[in-house]
């Protein structure tokens, strides 16, 4: 798990200051830094406004057609960002640069804030809001002074995830000519393979990630949000939008059109233009995608189980120290994970170099938190007393675990595995670098057709990527609606 | 005491996890072995996937030799071959441009190409070392939008495009091996200092696109008046839907200008490969009549360079392009990358 982190550190040391400095302190890196920083500064707040605003509107106001909008706001999550970018680029061919990047990524990633915000708002006790209202606050003041502060963790967490996605995204930005560190690393890789130029950009990018992690941890603060017992909240009374209602509906509809309808309509339009030959290679690509994604999911569950077990059953410094590197490694962009695995397998385990196993290992590193989070929650929910009861009846600890706890964990395992597998199925950068000779996945096939501007040939793959993402999105949505804070 | 018990009781899970991962690994490897059989010829392919797949299909049909392709870009695969060294599974390397071939040649990884194959290819389209051979060629062109750029305004030389007069008026794809090969020709013809200042001018003037097609598409849409690309993207689009080139024309620099550079696509046999005979056979097939005919008659519009096969109409004959004389072995890929990195283009 620590290979990528070790790779970055080893590269920095191996290149040495004299070689690293001229590669890092040059105008091009300055341009990339400015682009990446502006993307974060504009994109993250925009997703937070859309995500939190959307969650509040569908949960706590009398917005018409609330259920419909609740689903519409999460829908973009089923469209991989590079597919969304492809849809926009074919709708507006001149879309490019910073504004294009901000537009496409904000639309694609706002559900990452919307979902935790939705979950948190649903878990809030309306009594607090009612007390505030009875003390004379209007609906906006209630939102700003009562709801917003309680959403702090969801906003920070969601914002961090958006920021990490913005740093790691390749396809969506490459498609519309917006250069970030990740796109520049891919270009450097294509020009020099895993050489010092790609590696030095990787060191800067990894540092950026670390800065964001530390900032988020710092901003989380020490305030307490918990309370004892969930009580039995009654249904919240809804804020009235009044005359603002029609404008709000129009605004949300426009958002839905921009984030979901535009990409999908273009995919369908090109699908109509694609000839039969475009479909010929789909079964093979789908099978290979399923194999790689399935293997990655299995691997992630197996690695996550013991860690989640320790974290849930024996919380403490040791288990937290064990968990931390997993989150750290997973926060590194896929391109760095891939560079690290190319370099390490080539140098130390050539037998593993560009094999299916290495691709799966990359998926485990990149997507592990998707398995850890539901597993930890699942294990925490299984009462230990059940296991103890089984043991008091004479079964051994292992049998008790397998016969009592394991079946209760199945839903959590299934959820974690599904989230990892669907993430892996949409993965582009690491797959491009690590896949064995001859391997093609849905994402790499889409990319090779789309970057050759063969839009019709790319369309069937885009459609499949969207369809295969729907179950995971439905799963995440129902978790969020369940009111559990994740 | 309690803590130790904890660890002991967890270990069965960890053990089970390890066993299962082991199994999964084994299965997966089994799957991969099935996919790449040991007899199959492994080709690292930086040429257009569709073209190489046409070649492979015909080759397998004729010889029964199975071929597996690994796709990538010129420099990526060349550097990968160098990094892999003797551990590489590659038998054959095919590129779009020469610098990547020189890179692998200079690392001493190529086995000499059969003389009979070399004899099929005229001398100007292969290196004097005989360690690889040309298999196709492409010409640099300036694609322009006549509505934005009058014929009288066309540049006389590629060098002119670094002048301030051309600011924001042309585009290119410096991230790709194609453009890097053009720069390597400029480096060979004009020297490092002139190339450095030209690249600085390009950094000022040019709009950067992802690849040649994206550049041509932008010119067609009027986003930028002109662009430096290779010829066959234009002919291919003209032959097909014309959706990315209908409103554009081509300008050939000629006059042995760096902008008239004809880039030789190469093929070579890796010394460390375990299927030498099949590899030589494949290369002979590409340079032979059948391989060159696929090139000359197929969809590709690249130039055939061997066995006397003519170019597809309406391509102007290769000899009429007045290209500068450049020895393909002299094209220095790594120095070009360094210069372009220095100029902030990479």
- Please check whether the two domains, B41-137+263-315 and B138-261+335-342, share a CATH topology: yes
**What is the radius of gyration, based on Cα positions, of chain B?**
24
The predicted model scores a pTM of 0.83
Q: Measured between alpha carbons, how far is A470 from A77 in angstroms, rounded to an integer? A: 8
Helix axis angle, A27-60 to A196-220, nearest 10° = 40
Residue A346 lies in a domain: yes
Using alpha carbons, select from B208, B202, B207 the residue that is nearest to residue B163.
Answer: B202
Task: Quote the ipTM score.
Answer: 0.76
Q: What CATH number should be reported for the domain whose range is B138-261+335-342?
A: 3.40.190.10
Residue A162 lies in a domain: yes
Q: State yes or no: pLDDT of B24 exceeds 50.
A: no
Residues A430 and A350 in one domain: yes
Residue-wise burial string across A209-232, b where 16 or more C-beta atoms lie within 10 A, e elsewhere: beebbeebeeeeeeeeeeeeeeee
DSSP E strand boundaries for B33-158? 41-45, 67-71, 92-94, 110-111, 133-144
Q: State yes or no: pLDDT of A267 exceeds 80.
A: yes
Please state which architecture CATH assigns to domain B41-137+263-315: 3-Layer(aba) Sandwich (3.40)
Q: State yes or no: pLDDT of B20 exceeds 60.
A: no
Using alpha carbons, select from B99, B158, B93, B86 the residue that is nearest to residue B127.
Answer: B99
pLDDT (0 to 100) of residue B28: 36
Of A174, A179, A192, the CB nearest to B75: A192
Q: State yes or no: pLDDT of B181 exceeds 70.
A: yes
Which residues, at least 6 apart from A198, have a Cβ–Cβ distance to it below 8 Å? A185, A188, A189, A192, A339
Residues A183 and A320 in one domain: no
Mutate to test the interface with B, among A31, A92, A176, A190 (most CBs of B within 10 A): A190
- Which residue range is the domain that position A145 belongs to? 1-219+245-273+470-486
Residues A26 and A72 in one domain: yes
pLDDT (0 to 100) of residue A225: 64
User: Does residue A175 sit in helix, strand or coil?
Assistant: helix
CA angle A406, A410, A411 (to 5 degrees): 145
Of B24, B49, B208, the CB nearest to A448: B49
Residues A368 and A474 in one domain: no
- Inter-residue contact A209 to A332 (CB < 8 Å): yes
DSSP3 helix / strand / coil % (chain A, rounded to 5): 80, 0, 20
Domain count, chain A: 2
pLDDT (0 to 100) of residue A192: 72
The half-sphere exposure of A466 on its side-chain side, counting CA atoms within 13 A, is 24
- Inter-residue contact B334 to A195 (CB < 8 Å): no
Q: How confident is the model at residue A226 (pLDDT cuts 50, 70, 90)?
A: low
Span A109-138, pLDDT tens digits? 999 999 989 988 888 888 888 888 889 888
Question: Cβ separation of B209 and A177 shorter than 8 Å?
Answer: yes
Q: State yes or no: pLDDT of B36 exceeds 60.
A: no
Span B129-148, pLDDT tens digits? 999 999 999 999 999 999 99
Give the pairing type, strands B170-172 and B133-144.
unpaired
- Inter-residue contact A403 to A278 (CB < 8 Å): no
Question: Cβ separation of B175 and A190 shorter than 8 Å?
Answer: yes
Percent of chain A residues topping a pLDDT of 70: 96
Location of structure tokens 């708002």:
A121
Q: Measured between alpha carbons, how far is A152 from A172 in angstroms, rounded to an integer? A: 29
Span A398-410, pLDDT tens digits? 888 888 888 888 8
Phi, psi of A159 (to 5 degrees): -60, -40
**DSSP labels, A128-150:** HHHHHHHTT--HHHHIIIIIHHH
> B227 pairs with which residues across the strands?
B143, B171
Of A177, A194, A197, the CB nearest to B208: A177
Chain B residues with CB under 8 Å of A314 CB are 6
Task: Kindly tell me the sign of the dihedral angle through the C-alpha atoms of B302, B303, B308, B312.
Answer: positive
Question: Cβ separation of B244 and A453 shorter than 8 Å?
Answer: yes
Mean pLDDT is lowest, of A124-133, A418-427, B60-69, B98-107, for A124-133
pLDDT (0 to 100) of residue A227: 59
Residue A453 lies in a domain: no
Of A189, A197, A298, the CB nearest to B341: A197
Q: Measured between alpha carbons, how far is A359 from A356 in angstroms, rounded to an integer? A: 5
- What is the maximum span of chain B, computed from C-alpha positions, in angstroms? 90
Extract the tokens encoding A257. Answer: 């059109």
pLDDT (0 to 100) of residue A146: 86
Instruction: Give yes or no for A397 touching B (CB within 8 A).
Output: yes
Residue A461 lies in a domain: no
User: Does residue A79 sit in helix, strand or coil?
Assistant: coil
Location of structure tokens 């009288």:
B152
Residues A215 and A339 in one domain: no
Question: Cβ separation of B210 and A174 shorter than 8 Å?
Answer: yes
Q: Measured between alpha carbons, how far is A65 from A301 in angstroms, rounded to an integer? A: 38
pLDDT (0 to 100) of residue B71: 86
Q: What is the mean pLDDT of residues A417-445?
A: 89
User: Does residue B229 sit in helix, strand or coil?
Assistant: strand
| Alpha-carbon distance values, B22 to A344, A449, B18 (Å) | 20, 36, 6
Q: State yes or no: pLDDT of B5 exceeds 60.
A: no
Q: State yes or no: pLDDT of B33 exceeds 50.
A: no
Residues A16 and A155 in one domain: yes
Could you count the other beta carbons within 10 Å of the beta carbon of residue B217? Answer: 22
Of B10, B175, B342, the CB nearest to A187: B175
Q: State yes or no: pLDDT of B22 exceeds 60.
A: no
User: Does residue A76 sit in helix, strand or coil?
Assistant: helix
- Inter-residue contact B28 to A435 (CB < 8 Å): no
Q: Measured between alpha carbons, how far is A330 from A312 in angstroms, rounded to an integer? A: 20
Question: Cβ separation of B84 and A346 shorter than 8 Å?
Answer: yes
Top-confidence range, A21-35, A163-177, B131-145, B319-333:
B131-145
**What is the radius of gyration, based on Cα positions, of chain A?**
23
Q: CA of B27, closest CA in chain A: separation in Å?
A: 10
Task: Kindly tell me the sign of the dihedral angle through the C-alpha atoms of A291, A292, A293, A297.
Answer: positive
**DSSP labels, B196-249:** HHHHHHHHHHEEE-SSHHHHHHHHHTTSSSEEEEEHHHHHHHHHTT-TTTTT-E
Q: How confident is the model at residue B30 (pLDDT cuts 50, 70, 90)?
A: very low
Percent of chain B residues topping a pLDDT of 90: 69
Span A336-345, pLDDT tens digits? 898 889 888 8
| DSSP H or E stretch at residue B226 | strand B226-230
pLDDT (0 to 100) of residue B344: 87
Give the pairing type, strands B41-45 and B67-71.
parallel
pLDDT (0 to 100) of residue B91: 96
pLDDT (0 to 100) of residue A80: 93
pLDDT (0 to 100) of residue A231: 59
> B252 pairs with which residues across the strands?
none
For chain B, give every domain's residue range.
41-137+263-315, 138-261+335-342
As a whole number, the mean pLDDT across chain A is 87
Residue A234 lies in a domain: no
**Could you say which DSSP state residue B316 is in?**
P
pLDDT (0 to 100) of residue A228: 58
| Chain A with chain B: Cβ pairs closer than 8 A | 130
User: Does residue A35 sit in helix, strand or coil?
Assistant: helix
Q: State yes or no: pLDDT of B227 exceeds 50.
A: yes
Task: Kindly tell me the sign of the dihedral angle through the C-alpha atoms of B45, B49, B55, B56.
Answer: positive
Q: Note if the bond before A213 is cis, omega within 30 degrees.
A: no
Extract the tokens encoding B259. Answer: 């902008």
Which residues, at least 6 apart from A239, have a Cβ–Cβ distance to it below 8 Å? A60, A61, A62, A139, A142, A143
Q: State yes or no: pLDDT of B15 exceeds 70.
A: no
CA angle B6, B7, B11 (to 5 degrees): 120
Q: What is the mean pLDDT of residues B246-269?
A: 96
| Alpha-carbon distance values, A128 to A79, A147, A237 (Å) | 37, 9, 12
Location of structure tokens 């259920």:
A67
Mutate to test the interface with A, among B28, B56, B96 (most CBs of A within 10 A): B28
pLDDT (0 to 100) of residue A230: 56
Using alpha carbons, select from A319, A419, A414 the residue that is nearest to residue A363.
Answer: A419
Q: What is the mean pLDDT of residues A61-76?
A: 93
Extract the tokens encoding B251. Answer: 């300008």
Q: What is the mean pLDDT of residues A135-160?
A: 86
Which residues, at least 6 apart from B137, have a Cβ–Cβ distance to it below 8 Å? B125, B262, B263, B264, B265, B302, B303, B305, B318
Q: How confident is the model at residue A233 (pLDDT cuts 50, 70, 90)?
A: low
Give the pairing type, strands B262-270 and B92-94.
antiparallel
Extract the tokens encoding A428. Answer: 């582009």
Extract the tokens encoding B273. Answer: 């490969």
Q: How confident is the model at residue A50 (pLDDT cuts 50, 70, 90)?
A: very high
pLDDT (0 to 100) of residue B32: 36
Residues A254 and A299 in one domain: no
Q: State yes or no: pLDDT of A23 exceeds 90.
A: no
Give the pairing type, strands B206-208 and B226-230.
unpaired
Span A276-330, pLDDT tens digits? 777 888 999 999 999 999 999 999 999 999 988 888 888 777 777 777 777 777 7
Mutate to test the interface with A, among B24, B33, B69, B246 (most CBs of A within 10 A): B24
Extract the tokens encoding B235. Answer: 């002919």
Q: State yes or no: pLDDT of B153 exceeds 50.
A: yes
pLDDT (0 to 100) of residue A260: 95
Q: State yes or no: pLDDT of A243 exceeds 70.
A: yes
């Amino acid at each position: 798990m620590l290979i990528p982190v070790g790779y970055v550190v080893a590269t920095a040391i191996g290149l040495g200051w004299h070689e690293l400095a001229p590669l890092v302190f040059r105008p091009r890196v300055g341009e990339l830094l400015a682009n990446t920083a502006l993307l974060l500064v504009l994109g993250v707040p925009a997703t937070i406004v859309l995500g939190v605003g959307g969650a509040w509107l569908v949960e706590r106001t009398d917005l018409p057609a609330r259920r419909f909008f609740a689903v519409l706001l999460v829908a973009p999550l089923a469209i991989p960002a590079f597919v969304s970018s492809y849809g926009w680029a074919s709708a507006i061919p001149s879309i490019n640069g910073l504004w294009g990047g901000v537009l496409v990524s904000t639309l694609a990633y706002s559900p990452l804030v919307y979902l935790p915000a939705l979950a948190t708002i649903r878990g809030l006790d309306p009594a607090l809001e009612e007390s505030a209202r009875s003390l004379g606050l209007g609906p906006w003041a209630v939102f700003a002074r009562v709801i917003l502060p309680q959403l702090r963790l969801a906003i920070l967490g969601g914002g961090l995830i958006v920021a990490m996605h913005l740093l790691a995204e390749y396809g969506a930005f490459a498609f519309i000519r917006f250069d970030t560190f990740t796109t520049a690393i891919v270009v450097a890789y294509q020009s020099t393979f895993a050489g010092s130029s790609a590696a030095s950009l990787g060191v800067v990018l990894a540092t950026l990630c670390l800065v964001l992690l530390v900032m988020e941890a710092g901003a989380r603060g020490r305030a307490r949000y918990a309370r004892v017992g969930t009580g039995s909240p009654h249904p919240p009374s809804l804020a009235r939008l009044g005359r603002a209602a029609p404008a709000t509906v129009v605004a949300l509809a426009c958002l839905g059109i921009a984030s979901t309808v535009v990409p999908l309509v273009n995919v369908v339009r090109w699908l109509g233009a694609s000839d039969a030959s475009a479909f010929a290679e789909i079964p093979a690509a789908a099978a290979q995608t399923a194999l790689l994604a399935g293997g990655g999911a299995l691997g992630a569950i197996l690695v996550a189980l013991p860690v989640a077990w320790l974290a849930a059953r024996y919380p403490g410094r040791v288990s937290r120290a064990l968990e931390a590197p997993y989150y750290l490694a997973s926060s590194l962009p896929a391109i760095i994970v891939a560079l690290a695995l190319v370099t390490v397998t080539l140098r130390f385990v050539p037998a593993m170099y560009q094999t299916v196993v290495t691709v799966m290992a990359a998926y485990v590193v990149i997507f592990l938190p998707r398995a850890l989070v539901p597993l930890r929650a699942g294990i925490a929910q299984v009462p230990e007393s059940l296991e103890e009861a089984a043991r008091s009846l004479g079964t051994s600890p292992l049998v008790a675990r397998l016969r009592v706890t394991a079946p209760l964990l199945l839903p959590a395992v299934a959820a974690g595995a599904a989230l990892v597998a669907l993430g892996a199925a949409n993965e582009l950068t690491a797959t491009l670098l690590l896949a064995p000779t001859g391997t093609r996945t849905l994402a790499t096939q889409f990319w090779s057709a789309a970057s050759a501007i063969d839009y019709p040939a790319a369309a069937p793959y885009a459609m499949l990527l969207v369809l295969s993402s729907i179950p995971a999105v439905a799963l995440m949505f129902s978790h969020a609606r369940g009111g559990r804070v994740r | 005491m309690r803590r130790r018990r904890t660890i002991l009781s967890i270990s069965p899970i960890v053990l089970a996890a390890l066993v299962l991962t082991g199994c999964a690994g084994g299965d997966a490897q089994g799957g991969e072995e099935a996919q790449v059989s040991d007899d199959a010829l492994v080709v690292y392919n930086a040429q257009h996937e569709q073209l190489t797949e046409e070649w492979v299909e015909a080759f397998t049909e004729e010889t029964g030799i199975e071929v597996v392709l690994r796709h990538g870009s010129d420099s990526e695969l060349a550097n990968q071959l160098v990094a892999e060294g003797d551990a590489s599974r590659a038998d054959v390397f095919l590129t779009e441009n020469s610098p990547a071939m020189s890179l692998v040649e200079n690392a001493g990884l190529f086995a000499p190409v059969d003389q009979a194959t070399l004899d099929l290819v005229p001398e100007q389209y292969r290196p004097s070392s005989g360690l690889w051979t040309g298999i196709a060629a492409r010409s640099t062109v300036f694609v322009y939008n006549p509505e934005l750029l009058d014929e009288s305004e066309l540049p006389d030389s590629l060098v002119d495009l670094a002048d301030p007069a051309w600011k924001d008026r042309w585009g290119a794809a410096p991230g790709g091996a194609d453009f890097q090969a053009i720069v390597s020709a400029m480096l060979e013809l004009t020297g490092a200092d002139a190339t450095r200042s030209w690249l600085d001018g390009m950094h000022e003037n040019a709009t950067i696109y992802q690849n040649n097609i994206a550049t041509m598409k932008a010119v067609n849409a009027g986003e930028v008046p002109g662009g430096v690309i290779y010829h066959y993207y234009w002919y291919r689009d003209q032959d097909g839907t014309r959706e990315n080139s209908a409103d554009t024309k081509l300008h050939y620099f000629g006059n042995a200008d760096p902008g008239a550079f004809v880039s030789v696509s190469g093929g070579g046999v890796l010394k460390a490969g375990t299927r030498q005979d099949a590899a030589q056979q494949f290369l002979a097939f590409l340079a032979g009549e059948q391989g060159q005919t696929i090139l000359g008659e197929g969809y590709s519009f690249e130039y055939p360079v061997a066995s006397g096969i003519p170019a597809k109409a309406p391509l102007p004959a290769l000899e009429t392009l007045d290209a500068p004389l450049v020895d393909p072995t002299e094209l220095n890929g790594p120095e070009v990358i360094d210069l372009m990195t220095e100029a902030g283009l990479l």
